[in-house]
Structure 1
Amino acid sequence: MTRIRHEPVAPTRTQWLAPGSDIDAHRHDDHQIVYAARGVLAITTDVGTWIAPATRAIWVPAGTVHAHHAHGALDLRLVGLPATDNPLGLDAPTVLTAGPLLRELILAYTGDPEEDSPERRRLLAVLLDQLAASPQQPVHLPAPTDTRLKRVCDVLRADPGDQRTLTALSREAGASTRTLSRLFMSDLGMTFPQWRTQLRLYHALVLLAEDVPVTTVAHQCGWSSASAFIDVFRRAYGDTPGRHRPRERRASAAPTVQTRRPRRLRPGVDR
């Protein structure tokens, strides 16, 4: 039996994780905001996986047993909050939009977690206000419990680009298409196409964090064209897939060099 590590106080800190690194299953008595300033973070519980790039933060309620996995080099920012303070009123992990202001607040607050001052407390108050106003995002990939459904999901996890219909996949599960359709709704809370799209988006974020080109990601994840993939990705995450590749993020962050055009001399005035 796997032992679950218990950490009474959820830490506020910055932590670097190498690509593919894990933080084993653990729980805190406090709530925690988890944010990846770089890379893609996956948090897994016994009911599924939540995944977040740098435009998202994950709310982890107190007492939730969860594990972390790093896709790409991960700059992990953790903000611990007392269990008595739940500004979101949520009792399950939730992915939230991390707009520019919220991202900067998290980075500033985790930059010097040992300091305790009135300024820092005011910073946290603004951070919580922004967090409470952040829209929730459906970036949760639920895990099946039914063995027949699990067979189908395992096939698609192994190859998210698999184009087979649910009828064709039902032969793998030993169940009818109607039964599997019902199980997707009752066990996972979404239709088969919705779950498969969510899986493909999850896998796309992983590949992008590994700096795989967008066109390659689109085909490996089952989209017929890069443009179709970009459209679905933008609607799900609010920006283009290329912004999540480390190479393009580094390029967009690089300072631009301003060049001045030479001033033309005016006859009789400039010498």
Structure 2
Amino acid sequence: MPRRISYDPLPKLGPSVNEPVMVHLRLPPPDGIIERHRHTWGQLVYPRQGSIRVSTPGMMWIVPLFRAVWIPPGIEHEVVMLGRVEFHALYVEPKAAPLPLDACSVIEVSALMRALTHTLASDAVASRRHRQLAMRLLIEEMREAPSLPLGLRLPDDRRLRALCTAMMDDPGCARTLAEWAPVIGASERTLARLFQTELQTGFGVWRRQLRLARAIDLIGRGIPLAEVAAELGYANTPAFSTMFRQALGFPPSHLANSGESLH
């Protein structure tokens, strides 16, 4: 388990009616963590290097390259860097928000969205009018972006949350639920019941979804499929590929070859 380094990004200049999108480039330390906090504005976070893990009450997302997580105003969230990361944080005025104000989501980041974000973050826009046009176009790109089902439910129960957190830090861990029970301090039967009542799924299914999210992260970084399979606890690449295809409908090699789309 990596040692997390607390990171407090500055500046935190928020958006306004006249400047509805404020873009910041963040350069956190490897394995850095932005502790739980909330904003009065909406926020879109996407990595331009590496991957991040975003947690809110009840949900978690692993966000790789070319994807972004939308966090509405007022929602408490934590951001964890998975290794070395650079990311853009887009602060969005709630009245101009192009995405729902009551739920988080993950969207694809188009080449145009990346170009507009880079331009606004670098203050390379020559005039105020051009800056306003770039913000409007960026908001429209966010509105039209396809969403992706990359969320993973998290429990409220302290014992089950401790188990899920440990698994998120080591998705390839081969421990069975019976082997986790003494580590967590609850019986196997209790943990199995909690998975059903709190997450509406079983231990094996939840772990598979976690591994799938981590796989998308690793493949997006260009890690060979054999290494991805080994890190996630699969005996070989075919076993991993079978799980991936059953979950998403296409083999992991498709994502490795395209690098730009999950479709």
Q: Same fold (TM over 0.5)?
A: yes
CA-CA distance at 1:159 after TM superposition: 4.4
Q: 2:70 is matched with which residue: 59, 69, 80?
A: 59
Aligned to 1:84, the other structure's residue is in SS state helix
* Structure 2 letter corresponding to 1:61: P
* Structure 2 letter corresponding to 1:134: A
Aligned to 1:64, the other structure's residue is in SS state coil
Q: Does 1:101 align with 2:149?
A: no
* Structure 2 letter corresponding to 1:240: L
Note the 1:32-47 alignment, pairs <5 A.
32-47=43-58
Aligned-residue Cα RMSD (Å) equals 3.7
Distance 1:163 1:95, change over 3 A: same
Note the 1:111-260 alignment, pairs <5 A.
111-112=122-123, 117-150=128-161, 152-153=163-164, 156-157=167-168, 159-163=170-174, 174-175=186-187, 180=191, 183-204=194-215, 213-230=224-241, 235=248, 239-241=254-256
Distance 1:14 1:63, change over 3 A: same
Larger of the two Rg values belongs to structure? 1
Using the TM superposition, name which of 107-116 and 46-55 deviates more.
107-116
Give yes or no for contact 1:8–1:29 (8 Å, CA) kept in 2. no
Aligned to 1:76, the other structure's residue is in SS state strand
* Structure 2 letter corresponding to 1:81: V
Unaligned 5+ runs, structure 2: 1-7, 16-21
Distance 1:18 1:163, change over 3 A: closer
Q: Find the counterpart in structure 2 of residue 9 from structure 1.
A: 14
Unaligned 5+ runs, structure 1: 250-271
Give yes or no for contact 1:12–1:110 (8 Å, CA) kept in 2. yes
* Structure 2 letter corresponding to 1:110: A
Give yes or no for contact 2:41–2:73 (8 Å, CA) kept in 1. yes
Using the TM superposition, name which of 229-238 and 97-106 deviates more.
229-238
- For 1:206 and 1:97, locate their aligned partners in 2 and report how far apart those are by CA, in whole Å: 14
Q: Equivalent pairs: percent with the same residue?
A: 29
Per-residue displacement from partner, 1:198-220 (whole Å, max 9, x unpaired)? Answer: 22134445656887643122122
CA-CA distance at 1:22 after TM superposition: 2.4
Number of residue equivalences: 241
CA-CA distance at 1:33 after TM superposition: 1.3
Q: Find the counterpart in structure 1 of residue 4 from structure 2.
A: none
Q: Find the counterpart in structure 1 of residue 95 from structure 2.
A: 84
Q: TM-score, normalised by structure 1?
A: 0.69
Q: Find the counterpart in structure 1 of residue 81 from structure 2.
A: 70
